[in-house]
Structure formats: structure tokens, C-alpha cells
Structure 1
Amino acid sequence: MIELSDVHKAFGDNHVLRGVDLRVESGTSMVIIGGSGTGKSVALKCILGLVHPDSGIITLDGRDVTKGDRDAFLARFGMLFQGGALFDSLSVWQNVAFRLLRGSLKRPRDEAREIAVEKLRRVGLKPEQADLFPAELSGGMQKRVGLARAICADPEIIFFDEPTTGLDPIMSGVINDLVREIVTEMGATAMTITHDMTSVRAIADNVAMLHDGVIQWTGPVSGMDQSGDPYLDQFIHGRADGPIEAVR
């Protein structure tokens, strides 16, 4: 469904992506792992068109993502942001229904609220919490609101940027389970970037290891531990010694 072919991106002298090749099959969950600053977020932004690659081709269903109707293209995506990225001045339901209150997906206000409340219920939040503001929620609840917003318009493709960052182990497990369940229920194609190996094992069908601007290894999550790849092996076991140089 999504394919990156020899994608390069530099910011000045900082060459972040150095020829990324990656295929994501329809209806599967792909998780991209790698150290901080290796270009995971840049790769997602290139797919969405928020950052334009210097060279290479990115296609969605075989079509160049830089061509065609931009609004129709973005309408196919949902996004869970790393920090939640909720609007402090909007109520919880207005955050969830943000896309349904404006633009090409606009619905009547009452209908948008009804959909938002249903999506909040799906992620384990109660209807009475819909009228609260983000500041009145815990970090875990805010993450659930972000997840409800990501699925509110029933997207075909969902991106998850570090879905468990800042959460305790129990809440991380809850979010991992929700992500897996929702992706399966919706039949959506998912791309996730994370450092959390527990999340990787919980939500991935396939894994791609990004290091030094290229995909060092890709394969099914079940093959990670026997990959034989020194970069992947060092990363998933958190070893200081190996081909990945730790900043000391």
C-alpha cells in the first residue's frame, strides 16, 4: 500500500535519509525502530508530504504521493502524535472531532459530537469526560483522546508516533492493546515509530530497523530475535557495545 524507493532527505549538511527502501502491505502493522535522530519521524513526514524528500519516490497504492488531490490524500490518514498534541482551549470531544468540524470531512455539530463520544467510548473513556478539557485528564487519558481523534474519521491508514512515551508500564500495555485491537477491527494499515520494544512485540506484524539513513533490516516481528543482523540485535537487547555507536 505504501512504498518508499531510494528516499533521501538532508537538512543542510545533516543527511538524515540516505536511500530508504520500504514496503508496507495493506492491512498490516509496520513498526519502524531505531535510535533517536535516525530519521524515523522524518520518514513519516515525507509520506504525509509535511517534508519533501530531496530525491526518491513515495507511492500510495502505486500513485506518487506528491500528485493529485491533497485533501483527498490526507483524508485517508489518521495520526496519533507523540505528545498528544491536544488543543488546550478545546473540549475533549472537540479535539476528537476536530476533522469533522471543518474542511472536506465536515459534519453537523451534533453528529460530530455523537461520533466523538462513540470513539471515546471505544478507547475506554466515558461520555461525561467528553466535555472536560485536556488539562483535566491524566497523561494516559490524554493519550486515549489522541487515539480517539486518530480514528474518528475511520481512516484507512494510521500513523502512531511513539504511542507509549511518558506512560507507566501498565498504561503502556493498555495503549498497546488498544492500538492492536483498533487496527485489527478497522482493517487499517498502520505505521508506528517507537523505542519501546514491548510495544513493538505487541503491535507489529513487521519491523523495519532504520539506522544511518537506511533500512538495515526488515522482516516479520517473529524473526527479530533470530535475525542475525548485528544492528538489530544490539538495538533490541539494549547493548552498549556493537556497530551502533553510543554517544558517551
Structure 2
Amino acid sequence: MIELRDVHKAFGANRVLRGVDLAVPGGSSMVIIGGSGSGKSVLLKCILGLVPPDAGKILLDDRDVAGIKVRRAERDAFLARFGMLFQGGALFDSLPVWQNVAFRLLRGALARPRDEAHAIAIDKLRRVGLSPDVADKLPAELSGGMQKRVGLARAIAAEPEIIFFDEPTTGLDPIMAGVINDLIREIVTEMGATAMTITHDMSSVRAIADRVAMLHAGRIQWTGPVGDLDHSGDPYVDQFVEGRATGPIEAVR
């Protein structure tokens, strides 16, 4: 469903992506691992069109998305196919929870009547384990784990075909991280969505992934089924998975 062919991206002299090749089958959950600064977030931003690649092709259903993004009439329809759970939650502090969840349903190409958007928000909050009485609270009144659930409810509110998860368990305790991982897996399976997740958390990788790709030095170092992760035969993957300070990946000191 998503394919990247020889994708490059540099910021000045910093070459972040150096020829990324990656295929994400429809209805699958792909998790991208790699060290800090390896370009994982830049990769997602390139797919969404927030950052234009310098070279290479990004295909969605065999269509080059570069052409879609420059044609304004098609851009909204293109973005409507995606949902996003941001690393820091990225909730709007001044809006009540339900309006955060229904943000895309209250404006633009996906706009619904206000009452309908409210009902959808309540339903999605229930789906992530939050009761309707949370709907009128402000994000600041919620715990970090509850805010993450609200972000997840917002990501699925418009029933997207593709969902991106950016470090979904960052800042959460192990129990809440497990809850979020289970919710993501259940929701992606129920919706039949195509998922791409970037994370450092190996427990998240094992809970969420169908396939795993490791991004290192601007390229895909290894990719394969999550079941092969512990015997990949790749020294870079082995070092990362086992969290060893010594190996081919140099630790930044």
C-alpha cells in the first residue's frame, strides 16, 4: 500500500535519509526501529508531505504522492486517508477533550454536523476506555495516560485507512504502556488499517508489529517479520534489540 523507492532527504550538510527502500503491505502493521536521530520521524513526514524528499519516489497504492500533494484539490482527500498519534499527544489545551477528538470532523473536507461529531467523539473515547464524563474536561485535567488515549481516539475518529504512531508509549509507565500497546493492536486489527509505528520501546515492537524495519545511517538496515527479530542475523539489529553498548552502532557519549 505504501512504497518508498530510493528516498533521500538532507537538511543542509546533514544527510538524514540516504536511499530508503521500504514496502508496507495493506492491512499490516509495520514498526520502524532505530536510534535517536536516525530519521524515523523524517520518514513519516516525507510520506505525509510535511517534508518534501530531495530524491526518490513515495507511492501510495502505486501512485506517486508527489503529484497528489501539488494538486490542491486532491490534497485534502489524500490527507483524509491518514490518522496520526503524535509522540507528545499534541492536544489543543484550550479545547475540551471531545473537540480534540472530533477536530477533523468539525472542519474541512471531513466536516460533520456538530451533534454528529460529538457523538462520534464519545464513541471513540469509549473505544479507548474513557467514559463520556471525560469529554468536557480540558486536556490539563487528565493524566498522561489518559491524554495518550485521547490522542488515539482522535487518530481513529475519521476512520482512516492508514494510521501513524510516533513513539506511542513515550513517557508512560510500563503498565499504561502495555495498555496503549494492546489498544493499538486491537484497533488496527478491527479497522483493517495499515499502520506504521516508530518506537524505541521493544515491548511495543513485539506487541504491535507484523513486520519490523530498522533504519540506520539513512537506509533500511534490515526488514522482516517480527518473529524473526531475535534471530535476524544482522549485528546492527541484534545490538539494538539487546540494548548493548558495544557493537557496530556507536553509542553517542
Q: TM-score range by the shorter chain?
A: over 0.9
User: Is 1:220 the equivalent of 2:253?
Assistant: no
Q: Report the Cα offset of residue 213 of structure 1.
A: 0.2
Q: Which residues in structure 2 correspond to 1:1-248 (within 5 Å)?
A: 1-68=1-68, 69-248=74-253
Q: Number of matched residues? A: 248
- For residues 58 and 191 of structure 1, what CA distance do their matches in structure 2 show? 15
- For residues 126 and 66 of structure 2, what CA distance do their matches in structure 1 show? 36
Identity rate, percent: 81
- For residues 203 and 223 of structure 1, what CA distance do their matches in structure 2 show? 15
- AA aligned opposite 2:5: S
Normalized against structure 1, the TM-score is what? 1.00
Per-residue Cα deviation, 1:41-72 (whole angstroms, up to 9, x for no partner): 00000000000000000000000111231110
Determine helix, strand or coil for the equivalent of 1:66.
helix
- AA aligned opposite 1:197: M
Q: Which runs of 5+ in 2 are unaligned?
A: 69-73
The 4+ residue runs of structure 1 with deviation greater than 3 A are: none
Determine helix, strand or coil for the equivalent of 1:225.
helix
Q: Report the Cα offset of residue 178 of structure 1.
A: 0.1
- For residues 79 and 144 of structure 2, what CA distance do their matches in structure 1 show? 27
Q: Report the Cα offset of residue 3 of structure 1.
A: 0.2
Per-residue Cα deviation, 1:200-240 (whole angstroms, up to 9, x for no partner): 00000000000000000000000011111000000000000
The RMSD of aligned alpha carbons is 0.3
- For residues 65 and 166 of structure 2, what CA distance do their matches in structure 1 show? 20
